[in-house]
A and B are shown apart, each in its own frame.
Chain A
Amino acid sequence: MNKKITVLIAVVVIAAALWVMNNQRNSATTTETAPVPETSAETPADTTTTESGEGSGGIAANVAAGYENILRLATWDEPNQNDPQKTTEYYSINFQIFDRLVEAVTAGPARSELVPGLAESWEVTDDGLTYTFNLRKGVKFHNGAEFTAKDVKYTFERMLWPETEAKNQDFIDPIKGSTEVMEGTAKELSGVEIVDDYTIKVTLKEPFAPFIASLATPSVSILNMEATEAAGADFGLVPEKTIGTGAYIFDKWVLRDELLVRRNDNYWRGAPELDGISWKVVQDADTMRLMFESGEIDVFDTAVAVSQIEYFANNPKYAGNLAIGDIADTNYYSFNQRIKPFDDVRVRKALQMAVDRQGMLDALFGGRGTLSYGIIARGIIGHNPDLPAIPYDPEAAKALLAEAGYPDGFEMTVTQIANQADTLAKNELFQSMMSEIGVKVTIDQMDSAAWYAVRADGDLPSYATYWAADYNDPDNFIYTFFAPGNTVRRSFNFNNEELSKRVVAARAITVPQERIKEYQALEKAIIQDEAAWIPLFQRQHIFVVNNRVEGFKVSWNGWSDGWYYYEGLRIKP
């Protein structure tokens, strides 16, 4: 062993390391670079990275070389793919790159409005069964193809084909012939008829009043038949193959790092003011906050880290930077009526009264939100502000428990997905509130796979969760939870047959006032008379927006991502 060999080894190791790194950088630039606007030719990516030290502009500038006017967002969990039909949770990209027949736009805080999208107008027959859509002419997909009626038909049918494995079929399964298509016995929807290139007629199995509203969800984004078929399994995964008509074009996706959309200059509503939007994937709340504070991202979404709310909300430095909106959600504790003693309505009512909603809201969310006593959230059509309050009254709760035969309380289990600190904090509060009336709560943490699986079988004990609106209609709340199969899949096992029947029947009522009346009656009966769950509160969504961004609005349903195409949203020069 001599010195030369040692030196030689060291040199080889270092050279190999450098080679690997270099190689990797080269391959990264060749494979990951999608078309970039001409301006970027003058600023090679490498110089941008070496210069980007002083806070703002750093990261996004690197991946998005050439874009200055871009909105830089961060996401906790990147989409698993961006095929709108295959996701129930990742709509960030879908909103921007696709259009819907109708759009739900934010009309004000927690208020939405349906506006024509790719459908210019529509007529409904008096029996509420047939919808005729007049489609917009001259709309181009990102690949230059013109949008016509066949794309609409294709979109609906693809969503129902079993091989698509689409997830939000609920939204269009009221269409006639959907069952056959879903079962694979038919390829085409008998209820959809192309009248001409710009007219399409849709017939439903039975009247379904929220049909138009449900077409505004991102899941029913309109796809291009040729491009989607040609993309095959790459659709939603490969940016340049994921084509829509939307205001932005899917530009780049570096896995676990960043997603980027760029402006569609030929957008039929007019090109957006922003050059693009980027989503940086950051899986650590503290890191995300540091990135926001050092100016690397423009918007901090407190939903990813409830623990950071107090820091921002009480910091005078950020007083002018908060964008706050209602979330169209209902937070609740569930009861599984298959599990004793929750088959007894008196027990359920007792627990409803033993929860200090205000205390919970104060402790967990600094009091930001509204207490709920029903199902239908504020901001949703049919929300009932006059629902009687459920009092917080541990004494009355105890008396009711004694009447039901549990003077000394009982033991119950609350389940949650492991490692969700926010839920655990809530469950611990619940635990201490229940102990006041002698109910001993055990918190059982499960991993998410197990939790969902047991819940789908109808065997999950109580749990705390929330439901935020997909579309603005009470149907999205009441049917989702209390239709016969749905209540088992959510482990409620709500078993009042008469009410269940009314929940199903309510879908077919077409006169708006009658529908609302029926839904409000159902809400009162299910939650207050039957005490099917413990309603808690409705939260607010707080975003912290840095001074670079102007006109940021919280979307009507309070989702983390909305449609970033609206008046006034711009980056300050």
Chain B
Amino acid sequence: MGRFIVNRILISVPVLIGVALILFLLLNVVPGDPVTVMMGEHIKPNLIEVFRERMRLDDPVLVRFARYIAGALRGDFGISYKLNREVGGLIAQSFPHTIKLSVYAALVAWLIGIPAGLFSAVKSNTLIDRAFMGFSLLGVSLPVFWAGLLMQYLFAYKLRWLPVNGYYSLKYFIMPAIVLGWGSAGTVARLTRSNLLEIMKNDFIRTARAKGLKESAVVTGHALKNAMLPVVTIMAMQVASLLGGAVMTESIFGIPGLGLIAVRAISMRDMPLLQGTILFSTALVIAGNLIADLLYGFLDPRIRVE
């Protein structure tokens, strides 16, 4: 088990370097000089030179890449062109907001998704089932930015129950968490339902019923536990999609997380910041998948890695 984890972590290093390299090359191929963007209208040409020299932008791409990797290994991701602050610090500052949003969204997804899936499976093909599944389909299909605006309009502007945007207390996170978690809730509900229905056809369920267990005990004690395996994996892997969705959600609800700085970095051609945020997100996705694998083995001894 320990070796498996170490291996997985070692494999992720070349993946990260590869991502960094592709990104580096891409940013060098696209036209446009970040320095010009930063400098604005009245800049004197000699200052552009001073800046290029300070940032050592005139070295060959590979030299700069090697320098970047060497720095990154020491934890130095450079200084944002646009915000004039250390990229590492910026990420450290914004990440907690993103984590917070993602955790709330995940809670929404599980607390809504699992019970909904359960009810739908037990009452399959009834009105309740249809309603739940329709609701989850809606969640999967609604774009985050649209759902976000609708909710803001209804709950913040019309009903005045919730603040329009911000991140100062739990109340501020209600709408963003629902908006972001709804889609995942839909996925979780559908997955729970189909797995549960599948499991319920098994012999051991018939045995459980035959020995006189109550239906509720059969469902929660025997069926649900088995049905949850793939759901748990999906939930860990949803970290990636939650992070992706967080980009939009953060801009709509003004939560100063990773997504906001990434969007800004892209539009400003802020290379150090962009590289930093993308590398960091890549690492998160790798970690999410690793946790999913480990959880799977932990929950199901049959497939535990030797």
Contact = CB atoms under 8 A, between A and B. Distances in A.
B251 A283 contact: yes
A255 B39 contact: no
Nearest to A160: B44
Nearest first, the 5 closest Cβ-Cβ pairs linking A and B are A449-B32, A450-B32, A88-B40, A256-B256, A449-B269
Given A59-B168, A450-B31, A456 B36 contact: yes
A142 B103 CA distance: 43
B115 interface: no
Interface in A341-387: none
A170 B43 CA distance: 8
Contacts of B164: 287, 290-291, 294, 296
A20 B83 contact: no
A255 B83 contact: yes
Interface residues of A, number: 65
A50 B168 CA distance: 9
Contacts of B84: 80-81, 233, 236-237
Interface in A168-193: 168-171, 182-183
B32 A1 contact: no
Contacts of A53: 160-163, 171
Contact of A24 (B85, B96, B299): B96
A242 B160 CA distance: 38
B99 A452 contact: no
Contacts of B37: 448-449, 452-453
Contact of A21 (B30, B36, B103, B268): B103
Interface of A: 1, 6, 17, 20-21, 23-24, 46, 49-50, 52-55, 58-59, 62-63, 80-81, 87-89, 162-163, 165-171, 182-183, 233, 236-237, 254-257, 280-284, 286-287, 290-291, 293-294, 296, 419, 446-454, 456, 480
Among B100, B149, B156, residue most surrounded by chain A Cβ atoms (within 10 Å): B156
B105 to A, nearest CB: 11
B51 interface: yes
Among B94, B164, B264, residue most surrounded by chain A Cβ atoms (within 10 Å): B164
Contacts of A236: 84
Given A88-B42, A449-B37, A454-B31, 12 more contacts: A21-B96, A24-B96, A53-B160, A59-B163, A255-B256, A256-B256, A281-B256, A294-B156, A449-B34, A449-B269, A452-B33, A453-B31
A80 B225 CA distance: 52
Given A49-B169, A255-B93, A256-B256, A55 B160 contact: yes
A169 B44 contact: yes
B47 interface: yes
Nearest to A80: B82
A290 B156 contact: yes
B180 interface: no
B301 interface: yes
Contact of B50 (A17, A21, A163, A170): A163
Nearest to A297: B164
A483 B221 CA distance: 82
A186 to B, nearest CB: 14
B269 A20 contact: no
B153 A20 contact: no
B288 interface: no
Given A53-B161, A81-B84, A182-B44, A256 B31 contact: no
B213 to A, nearest CB: 15
Contacts of A24: 96-97, 100
A257 B43 contact: no
